[in-house]
Amino acid sequence: MAAFQALLAPERLRRVLTSSREFELAQSPVPCFVYYTTRIVSAVHPNNQGHGKMRSIRLMLSVAAATMIAAGAAYAAEIEVNTMNMGKQGMFQLEPSFVKVAPGDTVHFVAKDKGHDVETIPGMLPEGAQPFKGEMNKDISVTFTKPGVYGVKCNPHYGMGMVALVVVGDPSSNLEAAKSVKQPGKAKKVFDELFKQVVQ
């Protein structure tokens, strides 16, 4: 994003993006690739030849590439959560056990150690969100689109505290409902600690 903004700083681009609204949009992390490419191309005078024209084309390509990178970073991210026989907090862990993402981001649950699966916990996902259930010893990627909190467990080791909390955007839609779900064994203590990390 910093590289993209730096490319837009020269006075030439200020002249290309003629209106203040256009320049304001250019500073945002979600500019349109086609729009800015077209605007910059149209700014190249048809009589420009040689080095001047080539500099304009190189500038256009640089801005286009920076736009795609910035837009991709802004729109989605992917985070890994590993199934662990032994993690930083002890045996049988989903690590990290607390994940905060934006709507549209993806969490990739990696079967790092065998003997585990991952699935949502009934009552611990926002209304309208689709539950998911991975296969034993298999990776699964989940894209979270509904804001709220999601409780995730390894089914064989649920009572041993192998759980995670995924917070997607604003957690308020189902935070209290998720807190009220009864948890078996060590899972209750783990979730008590995870909920302390949720900031509304």
- Comparing 76 with 131, the larger pLDDT belongs to 131
Task: Output the six-digit token pair for 6.
Answer: 């730096």
Q: Are 169 and 99 in contact (CB under 8 A)?
A: no
Enclosing H/E stretch for 175: helix 175-179
Q: What is the pLDDT of residues 178-191, one digit of tens each?
A: 999 999 999 999 99
How high is the mean pLDDT of the chain? 77
- The alpha-helical segments, DSSP class H, found in 76-179 are 175-179
Residues forming a β-bridge with 148: 168
Q: What is the pLDDT of residues 15-73, one digit of tens each?
A: 444 444 443 444 444 444 444 444 544 554 445 555 555 565 555 545 445 444 444 44
What percent of the chain has a predicted confidence (pLDDT) above 70? 62
Question: Distance between CA 9 and CA 137 in Å, rounded?
Answer: 50
- Comparing 7 with 105, the larger pLDDT belongs to 105
pTM over 0.85, yes/no: no
Q: If you search the block for the tokens 């505290």, which residue do you land on?
A: 161
Strand order in the sheet with 163-168: 98-101, 163-168, 148-153, 119-120
At residue 174, the pLDDT reads 98
